[in-house]
């Protein structure tokens, strides 16, 4: 049995060959502080965020696309993998996606977290490659493919050709930064203290990056910073647009930088085909229009942008045998094996 895994800053997804996506849960772990003992992981732990007593902590152990707390990630991966691998005899081969510019130490942390379950071998692949594959793009031919994978912790932009990255950039900007900006805005404008889960719900409900025909509102609930009592504020989509616009424009600047450094022949392919937008942040209304207006490149949002990486990882499983048959292979999207 071969497995693909997407260890995202916000969500962890698992894919089994011939079965498809079998698990999609929050990348959160809750543990007993005194004993360092895991209490819950995934969606169960997400429900505890901001609601735990002093003896329990619920956290995202993956920050900006890389592992921040190894012991939590190892336990989280073990528990989630047990949900789909009930037999102790099975030692699967695993394909895992990683950001494009992580260090060798950060790669090893991903491998160790997955290997702790007891797998045969781990294969790493850059998430821009699998995002494009999951969006239905052919990255193996001599044709330029521009993909922007916008997640919670990182935004990865790359021009792909012949199974590799011709030009690419990865920045620690994403949905989490927008959530932080909403938290700050509510505190400064309305003296309302809220948590990131509330900010995330607000962003997902009414977040937009272009003027919408219909103004929407969202009720933000929190604690009054002055009186300390519960309070709510109804905010509009135009307010939230101004709050998250700065982060969005920084991501647009990264896309422009990649285009400016792309070889002319590949730029010709991109001008014809446009950019494919993947990742959970691609669902923010108007993001595609904002990018297109600032780059003069047509933008297509993938059908299920949040699932492109895990679906692409599933497709990448088919390349494992090519790696194992020969040590030298010129065109293969898998970048490393451990």
What does the pLDDT average to over 142-169? Answer: 96
CATH number for the domain including 220?
3.90.640.10
Q: Structurally, how many domains does the chain consist of?
A: 3
Residue 258 and residue 211 in one domain? no
Residue 157: alpha-carbon gap to chain centroid: 13
What percent of the chain is modeled with pLDDT above 70?
96
What does the pLDDT average to over 237-264? Answer: 97
Q: Is the dihedral of CA 270, 273, 274, 279 positive or negative?
A: negative
Residue 12 and residue 75 in one domain? yes
Residue 11 and residue 158 in one domain? no
| Tens digit of each residue's pLDDT (9 = 90 or more) over 298-319 | 999 999 999 999 999 999 999 9
- Domain range holding 215? 175-243
Mean pLDDT, all residues of the chain: 93
The rounded distance, in Å, linking the Cα atoms of 160 and 166 is 6
CATH number for the domain including 92?
3.30.420.40
CB 144 within 8 A of CB 266: yes
Residue 319 and residue 220 in one domain? no
Residue 124's φ and ψ, nearest 5 degrees, are -100, 150
**What single string gives the DSSP state of each residue in 187-230?**
HHHH-EE--HHHHHHHHHHH-BSS--SS--EEEEEEEETTT-SE
Residue 239 has pLDDT above 60, yes or no: yes
| Tens digit of each residue's pLDDT (9 = 90 or more) over 81-98 | 888 876 655 688 999 999
Residue 94 and residue 197 in one domain? no
Residue 80 and residue 36 in one domain? yes
Residue 74 and residue 113 in one domain? yes
Residue 160 and residue 280 in one domain? yes
Residue 105 and residue 182 in one domain? no
Residue 167 and residue 267 in one domain? yes
| Tens digit of each residue's pLDDT (9 = 90 or more) over 197-228 | 999 999 999 999 999 889 999 999 999 999 99
The rounded distance, in Å, linking the Cα atoms of 137 and 312 is 10
Residue 65 and residue 123 in one domain? yes
Residue 61 and residue 75 in one domain? yes
């Amino acid at each position: 049995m071969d497995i693909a895994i997407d260890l995202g800053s916000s969500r962890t997804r698992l894919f089994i060959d011939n079965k498809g996506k079998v698990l999609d849960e929050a990348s959160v772990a809750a543990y007993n502080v005194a004993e360092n003992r895991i209490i819950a992981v995934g969606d169960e732990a997400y429900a505890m965020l901001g609601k735990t007593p002093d003896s329990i902590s619920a956290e995202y152990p993956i920050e900006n696309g890389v592992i921040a707390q190894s012991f939590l990630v190892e336990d989280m991966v073990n528990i989630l993998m047990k949900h789909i691998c009930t037999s102790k005899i099975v030692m699967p081969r695993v394909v895992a996606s990683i950001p494009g510019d992580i260090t060798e130490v950060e790669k090893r942390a991903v491998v160790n977290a997955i290997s702790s379950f007891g797998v045969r071998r781990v294969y790493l692949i850059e998430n821009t490659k699998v995002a494009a594959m999951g969006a239905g793009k052919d990255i193996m031919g001599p044709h330029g493919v521009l993909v922007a994978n916008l997640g919670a912790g990182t935004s990865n932009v790359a021009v792909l050709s012949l199974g590799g990255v011709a030009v690419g950039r990865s920045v620690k900007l994403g949905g989490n930064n927008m959530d932080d900006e909403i938290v700050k805005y509510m505190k400064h404008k309305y003296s309302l203290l809220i948590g990131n889960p509330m900010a995330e719900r607000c962003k997902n409900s009414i977040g937009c990056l272009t003027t919408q025909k219909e103004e929407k509102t969202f009720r933000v609930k929190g604690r009054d910073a002055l009186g300390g009592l519960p309070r709510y504020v109804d905010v509009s989509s135009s307010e939230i647009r101004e709050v998250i616009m700065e982060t969005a424009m920084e991501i647009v600047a990264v896309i422009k930088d990649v285009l400016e450094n792309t070889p002319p022949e590949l730029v010709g392919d991109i001008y014809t085909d446009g950019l494919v937008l993947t990742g959970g942040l691609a669902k923010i209304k108007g993001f595609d229009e904002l990018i297109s207006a600032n780059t003069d490149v047509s933008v297509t949002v993938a059908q299920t942008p949040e699932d492109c990486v895990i679906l692409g990882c599933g497709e990448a499983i088919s390349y494992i045998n090519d790696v194992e048959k020969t040590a030298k292979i010129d065109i293969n999207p898998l970048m490393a094996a451990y």
